[in-house]
Structure 1
Amino acid sequence: MLAACGGGQSRPKADLAASKVTTIGVNSYLWRASLDTLSFMPMMQTDSNGGVIVTDWYANPAAPTERMKLTVSILDQDLRADALRVAASRQILQNGQWIDAPVKAATVQKLEEIILTRARSLRHMAFGNG
């Protein structure tokens, strides 16, 4: 009898961990992971209800003639790969002026992977031990 009761208790917890854990408008694990991942960049806008993070231009001190600006959009309350979109802009400094330059697709994909991995880690830390 106790086994049946205990089994019913654990399933909702697993569903909660996999799905809609929010106190904001979007998945809180994706939100926190995005902020953590981009914490080295200056922030222009953060909207937790709309799920949008916009950074200001950031130039790596090791490559001061190149700068990046990112927009992260969290599109859902579920922790899924398709609930995250990263858009990047890149500029290079030529003759004292910033000129738009292409962004490698692999750059955006790598950022999305880093954010998703961090979000899954946060979820695991919150629910994996119980």
Structure 2
Amino acid sequence: MIRRPAPALLALLALAPALALGACGGGKDRPKADLAASKITTIGVNSYLWRASLDTLSFMPLLQTDSNGGVIVTDWYINPSAPTERVKVTVTILDQDLRADGLRVAALREVNQNGQWVAAPVKAATVQKLEDAILTRARDLRRASLAG
């Protein structure tokens, strides 16, 4: 089992170079530090991807969340407009950086046939659309934090 350093230690280590350079002086024209850098976080994964995943899946009931491991698992969701079909989604955040390949979405789909839920294929476009929605929301959250 791989042990991760405590989140507080990671945050402190991420801030150390900035704190050391902060005493070196500089004027008003010095570029503003990127306080929204992905490494400055109290959770084990990229905080923008994490928040964006929760926001994007907010219409589905959550079964399990692990912010240190970066896993979100929803419970089965039945769309009221398609009551014979249900979907379950797992989002895994793989990195502390805000990157497109730092996110993996998997979905399971079942259809009701004569009172039994039977596994059915999920369209690849469905998973891709979910990933795109999460990444777009994460970028929006980051932009908003830099602007504020």
TM-score (norm 1): 0.88
Deviating runs (4+, > 4 A) in structure 1? none
Within the candidate set 70, 94, 106, 2:89 is matched to: 70
Who wins on radius of gyration, i.e. which is larger?
A: 2
Contact 1:74 1:85 in 2 (8 A): yes
Q: RMSD in angstroms over aligned alpha carbons?
A: 1.4
Q: CA deviation at 1:8?
A: 3.9
Matches within 5 A, 1:38-57: 38-57=57-76
**Cα distance in 2 between the residues matched to 1:31 and 1:6:** 34
Within the candidate set 119, 124, 127, 1:100 is matched to: 119
Within the candidate set 4, 27, 39, 1:5 is matched to: 27
How many percent of aligned residue pairs carry the same amino acid?
Answer: 73
- Counterpart of 2:138 in structure 1 is 119
TM-score (norm 2): 0.78
- Counterpart of 1:32 in structure 2 is 51
Instruction: State the one-letter code of the partner of 2:27.
Output: C
3-state SS of 1:17 partner = coil
**Cα distance in 1 between the residues matched to 2:111 and 2:37:** 41
Q: CA deviation at 1:17?
A: 3.4
- Counterpart of 1:91 in structure 2 is 110
Unmatched 5+ stretches in structure 2: 1-25
Instruction: State the one-letter code of the partner of 1:112.
Output: E
Aligned residues: 123
Q: Deviations over 1:80-106 (max 9, x none)?
A: 000000000000000110000000000
**Cα distance in 2 between the residues matched to 1:84 and 1:52:** 10
**Cα distance in 2 between the residues matched to 1:105 and 1:18:** 32
**Cα distance in 1 between the residues matched to 2:114 and 2:90:** 27
Q: CA deviation at 1:18?
A: 5.2
Instruction: State the one-letter code of the partner of 1:39.
Output: S
